[in-house]
Amino acid sequence: MSGHAKTTKAATLRRLLRSGELVVSPGVYDGYSARLVERSGFKTASTTGAGIANSRLGQPDIGILSLLENVDTCRTIVRSCDLPVMADADTGYGNAVTVFHIVSHFEEAGIVGINIEDQAMPKRCGHLQGKQLIPAREMAKKIEAAVAARRDPDFIINARTDAISLEGIDGAIARAKLYAAAGADMIFPDAVKDEDQIKRLVDEVGIPISINMGFGIRRRPTTPLLTCRRLQELGVARVSLPRMLPAAAVRAMELALKLMRQSVETGEVIDRPDLLASIEEITGLMGDSAMGELEKRFLLPEQLAAASGG
């Protein structure tokens, strides 16, 4: 073979995780959010399982989003941007053999890594009560299966543990060490209670730690809200922000609908361009200019004239 091997998006993310700089990964759930994250200058993104389940199904995040629904959404997101995108694979949709098979689906969709969690099926959103865990040894076998199944050696296996709320920090660290020994590339401890727990995980587990920040929770969040600078000082490799964009979208749509209702009830024309993206901004975000260049390049003159309105 001649030349250098092509650098994959997964290899790019691994390089970022080794750089010593905190990797900030906003949660995306559709083409709009993926393109906006890229345009805003972030280097990576991650799908939000709750955001996909809520927006695609109109249902709570309680494990009813299917594998193929998830992968189909991930494929669309990956096609929408050039960023390395990690995905939420819930519990792996079954046992270790199931996990072995699902890895190829996510890789073929262009995803650079997956979260797999140690909850029992059906799983529950990390902020909900009533979570149950599978045995740590069973989760370790899922990780072994995922590692064995990946085709790109840089594809990242991020092992999430929900053990802190059920087994305490010592139990979570014991699980994290077992998952690391099974081949996990990164550990995602959910519902970390304070900075001391984060520091213990960073110091004791031995592989990169990913922390989730749940901004927008009115009750006391399960993990205290920390700045990116502070997370980096604690040695965290990656922070995911899964709910900010879907929550912001819901609030904006609520406001728009309130204005629509006001217009209906008063008979007034209510236009709030300060609250709405213009059609030019939306077409620009979607890359309409690139489509125009392709039309000029490939359409027959009469087709181009028709497409441009003469």
Model confidence pLDDT, tens digit, residues 256-274: 999 999 999 999 998 899 8
- Please check whether residue 243 is in contact with residue 215, taking contact to mean a CB–CB distance below 8 angstroms: yes
Q: Report how far residue 154's alpha carbon sits from residue 55's, in angstroms, rounded to the nearest whole number.
A: 30
pLDDT of residue 310 exceeding 50, the answer is yes
Strand order in the sheet with 210-212: 186-189, 156-161, 113-117, 85-88, 45-47, 23-28, 238-241, 210-212
pLDDT for 38: 98
| Among 221, 191, 241, 248, CA closest to 27 | 241
Q: Tell me, what's the pLDDT at 2?
A: 41
* Fold that domain 9-242 belongs to in CATH: TIM Barrel (3.20.20)
DSSP secondary-structure letter at 192?
Answer: -
pLDDT band at 209 (very low <50, low <70, confident <90, very high): very high
CA distance 54 to 113: 22
Q: What is the pLDDT of residues 153-206, one digit of tens each?
A: 999 999 999 999 899 999 999 999 999 999 999 999 999 999 999 999 999 999
**Of the candidates 226, 237, 230, which has an alpha carbon nearest to the alpha carbon of residue 201?**
237
What is the predicted pLDDT for the residue at 121? 85
Q: Are 85 and 112 in contact (CB under 8 A)?
A: yes
108: helix, strand or coil:
helix
Q: Give 207's contacts (C-beta < 8 A, 6+ positions apart).
A: 180, 184, 185, 186, 187
SS3 237: coil
pLDDT value for 228: 95
Res 6 pLDDT > 70 = no
115 strand-pairing partners = 88, 158
pLDDT value of residue 123 = 77
What does residue 85 show for φ and ψ, rounded to 5 degrees?
-120, 125
Tell me the whole-structure pTM to 2 decimals: 0.92
Residue 112 makes CB contacts below 8 A (sequence gap 6+) with 8, 9, 10, 12, 13, 84, 85, 86, 154, 155, 156
**Dihedral, 305, 306, 308, 310 alpha carbons, nearest 10:** 60
